[in-house]
Chain A
Amino acid sequence: MKELWRNAHVKRIATIALIAAVVTIMTGPEGNGAEPTAGFTGSFASHVTFFGLFTAQRWLVALLMTVVVVVLTWSVRYVNRSWSDRTHFRGQAVQAMTSMIQGSKRRSKFKSTRYVFFAIGLVLAIGLPHVITDNSWQTQIVQQILVYVLLAIGLNVVTGFAGLLDLGFVAFYAIGAYTTAWVTGALPTPPPFHTHLNTFFAIPFAIALAMLCGVLIGLPTLRLRGDYLAIVTLGFGEIIYLFANNLFGITGGATGTNQIPFLSVHLGALKYQWGLNPVPYYYLTVGFVVLFLIIFSSLEHSRVGRAWVAIREDEVAAESLGINPLKYKVMAFAIGAASAGFAGVVTASQTLFVTPPTFTLQFSINILVLVIFGGMGSILGVVLGGLFIQIFVVYLEHSPPSGYNSQDLYMYLGALLVVMMIFRPAGLFPSRRRRREVNQIKAGTAPDALLTNIGPHSRVQEET
C-alpha cells in the first residue's frame, strides 16, 4: 500500500482528484452549522451548466476542468522548455553583441510600444461612459474598480517597488476618507479653524495627514524584517478600524457619517460642481489614475526607484553604497499612504458617507491580491491585473453563478494567492526585472539576502 502511495502517477491522480473535489465543494451550495454535511453532499449532488453547453454533475465538470488545466500546463511547460533549450545559446550571443548604444535604443523602442498601448487605453477609457450608460453601473465602475486600481497602484509602490508588505494599507485609505468628512464638517468633531471647507481642499489635508501617519508608523517599524513588518502593519490597520468604530465623538462611531458634500472646485475662474451624475467622477478618477501612473512611472525609473530595487535585492550592499534604507522605505510608505489618502477623498466625496465596515483587513488583502496578481513592481501589470480581477468581482456580484455568495469572494482570493505564489510569484504581467529576480531564485543563484534572514531585524550579519 505504501509503495502504491509513493508512485508518482498515483500521486498525480490523487492530487487531481483532490483539487477537483475541493473546487466542487468550493463552488457548491452552502452548508450551515446545523447540517454540517449539507454543503458537502449538496455540492456533489448538484448540477451545473458548463457555459451553457451542457449540464452535468458539478464534480464531473470540476474533474474535467482540472484535468484540462493540468494537461494544458504540462504542454505549455514542455513547449517552453524545448524552445528555450534551443534558443539559450543564441540568447547569450545576442547579449554579448549588445553594446551600450544599442542597449539604449532597445529601451526606447520598448517604450514606444508602451505609449501606443497607453494611448489606446486612454481612448477606451474616455469612451467608456458613452458605452455603459447605466448610472448605477457607472458608479460601480468608479467605486469598485477604479478606486481599487488607484489603491493598487499606491500599494504597488510600497510592496512592489520597495518590497515592504503592508497589510494595513486600508488604514491610509480610511484616514483619507475620514479627513474628508472632518474637513467638510461632517464629523462630530468640528473641522479645523471652524470653517467648513470645500471638499476639494480636503485633498491636500487628506494627503498630508495620510503621509504623516505613514511616516509616524514607518519610522519605528520599517527597520523590522518582512514578516514582522506585515504583522505590525496589520495591527495598525486593525487599530485604525477600532478607533473609527469606537470613537463616537470623533469619528461618528459605527454608523459613521453621511453628510459629506459632493466634490466641487471653486478656485477663482475654475468652477465645477460634481453631483449625483457619476460620469464626472469617472473622468476625475480616470484622470488621477493616469496622473499617478505617470508620476509613479517616472519615480520607478529615477534614482529613488533604483535605490528601492537595490534595497530590495540586497540591503546590506545598498547600505554600503551610501543608501539609507530607512529613509527610502519611509519614503515609499509615505508615497503609498498619500495615494491611498487621496483615494479616500474620492470615495468619500462620491458615496457621501464614511463608515467603519469599509475599512477592514479584508480590504487591504483585496488590494494586495490585485498587486500580486498583476505583478508586484510593475505598474502596468498592477493596473491590468487590478482591472481584471475587479471587473470579474463586479461581474460575479451582479450575476452570481449558482452556489456563489458574495461572502465567498475571499475564499477564492485566498486560494488565488496561494496558487499565484506557487506557480507565478512574479505576477501575471511582471516587470522585466522582477521576472529576472524570480528566475534567479528558481535557479538557486539568488544572493543570500533575498532568501534568508535571521531575527526580526532586516540586517544580515556576516561571519568573521
Chain B
Amino acid sequence: MSSLLFDVKDVTLRFGGVVSLNDVSLHQNRGEILAIIGPNGAGKTSLFNSLTGVYAPQEGTITFTNGQGKTMSIIGKKPFRVSVAGVARTFQASRMFGAMTTFENIKIGAESHRGLGAVGAMLKGPRTRRDEHHSDARTKELLAFVGLTDHANTIAASLNYGARRRLEIARGLATSPEVLLLDEPAAGTNPTEKLELVRLIRKVRDEMGVSILLIEHDMKLVMALAERLYVLNFGSVIAEGSPEEIRANPAVIEAYLGSVDTGVAEGTK
C-alpha cells in the first residue's frame, strides 16, 4: 500500500531575511516510519511546524490525506484543525501539562476531538457520561500501551525524561491520529530508554497502524528505526533514501563532518 500521507511540494519558509526551508519537497507514505535528519539548524523543526500548521510557508504546497482518503491542504490551517485532521506531534522540549497527572494529560488528548460543548458538560447528561467513560477507557489502554500505568497519578512535572517522552506519545496517540510526528524523542534519554523507545515506536506503527515521522539526531536510533530518510541541511533536502543509501551518500557525510554521535562515518568504513 503506497497511498500518500503527506505530500510536500516546493515549500519555502522565510522569517524576515532568514530562509528556513528552501524549496523543500518530500512525501510520506501511509504506514511508513520516515525520518528527517540533518545538522542543527537545518530546518527540521520548522518543517514539523509547517506540517502541523504552526508556520505557514510562503511558497509551495503541503497536502495531507487522511484515513478516509480525503485530501486537504495544510498551509493556512490552524494547528488544532491539523490535529483534528489526524496529525499528532510531540515537541522537542517535552510540553506536558505539568501540573496535571499523567492520566489527565492523556485524557485531554483522548477527549479533545469529541464534539460536545459546554452545555452538555455542565449538565452531565448521559451522552457526556458515556463520552467520559470512553475517554477514561482509552486513556487506560494507552497508559498500558506505553508502560506508564504505574505513574498514572503522578504529577507530570515530576516524571523523568523517558517517561515524559512516553507520556507525550501516549497523549498524541489519544487523538487517534493517522500519523505521529516525533520531534527528537530520544533527546536526553539513556541507552536503555532509547531501546524502549525504538520498541515503542515500532509498536505504535505495527499495532496501531499509525505512521511515524520523526526528527532525530541519534544516528543509531534512526538507522535502526527508519525505513526511509530525508536529510536536510540549511533548509534544503540534500538526500533521500533508505538507511544504507544515506550512510554511503557523500553529501550527507560532508554535511555531518565534525558532529559527534553520527555513526554515519563509521558505517562507511
Query: B-contacting residues of A (Cβ < 8 Å)?
Result: 95-96, 98-100, 103, 295-296, 298-299, 302-307, 309-310, 313-314, 316-325, 331, 335, 433-434, 436-437, 440, 445-449, 459, 461-464
Contact = CB atoms under 8 A, between A and B. Distances in A.
A305 B84 CA distance: 19
Contacts of A449: 95
A321 B171 contact: yes
Contacts of A445: 98, 157
A275 to B, nearest CB: 32
Indicate the member of A310, A318, A320, A325 with the most B CB atoms within 10 Å.
A320
Contact of A319 (B80, B93, B101, B118): B80
B97 A310 contact: yes
Given A463-B45, A464-B20, A319 B79 contact: yes
Interface residues of B, number: 61
Interface in B36-95: 41-46, 49, 52, 54, 78-81, 83-84, 88-89, 91-93, 95
A321 B121 contact: no
A95 B100 contact: no
Given A320-B83, A324-B78, A464-B46, A302 B121 contact: yes
B121 A305 contact: yes
B98 A317 contact: no
B112 interface: yes
Contacts of B43: 464
Contacts of A463: 45
A309 B88 contact: no
Given A100-B140, A319-B78, A433-B100, A306 B108 contact: yes
A309 B97 contact: yes
A309 B108 CA distance: 10
A299 B118 CA distance: 7
B152 A100 contact: yes
30 contacts: A95-B153, A100-B140, A103-B101, A296-B122, A298-B123, A299-B118, A299-B121, A302-B122, A306-B111, A313-B98, A314-B95, A316-B79, A316-B91, A316-B95, A317-B91, A319-B78, A320-B52, A320-B88, A320-B91, A321-B109, A321-B112, A321-B172, A323-B112, A331-B118, A436-B157, A437-B99, A447-B98, A459-B54, A462-B54, A464-B41
Given A303-B114, A303-B121, A317 B41 contact: no
Interface of B: 20, 41-46, 49, 52, 54, 78-81, 83-84, 88-89, 91-93, 95-101, 103-104, 107-109, 111-114, 116-118, 121-124, 128, 131-132, 135, 140, 143, 149-150, 152-155, 157, 171-172, 174-175
Nearest to B143: A100
Query: Could you tell me the dominant secondary structure of chain A's interface residues?
Result: helix
B108 A335 contact: no
Contact of B157 (A309, A440, A448): A440
Indicate the member of B100, B104, B140 with the most A CB atoms within 10 Å.
B100
Contact of A304 (B98, B109, B117, B143): B117
Contacts of A446: 98
B97 A304 contact: no
A331 B171 CA distance: 24
B84 to A, nearest CB: 5
B78 to A, nearest CB: 7
Contact of B100 (A309, A316, A448, A459): A309
Contacts of A464: 20, 41-46
Nearest to B149: A100
Contacts of B174: 321
Contacts of A100: 103, 140, 143, 149, 152-153
Given A299-B122, A445-B98, A447-B95, A321 B83 contact: yes
A56 B124 CA distance: 59
A82 B118 CA distance: 45
Nearest to A450: B98
A313 B80 CA distance: 16
Indicate the member of B92, B107, B116, B122 with the most A CB atoms within 10 Å.
B122
A331 B116 CA distance: 13
Contacts of A461: 54
Contacts of B104: 306
A436 B155 contact: yes
Nearest to A304: B121
A437 B52 CA distance: 28
B111 A303 contact: yes
A295 B122 contact: yes
A303 B78 contact: no
Contacts of B109: 321
A305 B52 CA distance: 25
A306 B84 contact: no
Contacts of B92: 462
Contact of B135 (A303, A313, A314): A303
Given A335-B118, A447-B96, A449-B95, A103 B153 contact: yes
B194 to A, nearest CB: 24
Contact of B124 (A302, A433, A462): A302
Contact of A95 (B52, B79, B124, B154): B154
A299 B124 CA distance: 9
Contacts of B157: 436, 440, 445
Contacts of B101: 103
Contacts of B122: 295-296, 298-299, 302
A299 to B, nearest CB: 5
Given A100-B103, A100-B153, A464-B43, A320 B121 contact: no
Contacts of B108: 303, 306-307, 310, 318, 321, 323
A321 B175 contact: yes
Contacts of A313: 97-100
A167 B88 CA distance: 36
A325 B154 CA distance: 26
Contacts of B78: 319, 324
Contacts of B93: 448
A321 to B, nearest CB: 5
A304 B107 CA distance: 12
Contacts of B154: 95
Contacts of A299: 118, 121-122
A445 B121 CA distance: 32
B100 A462 contact: no
Contacts of A335: 118
Given A100-B140, A445-B157, A462 B49 contact: yes
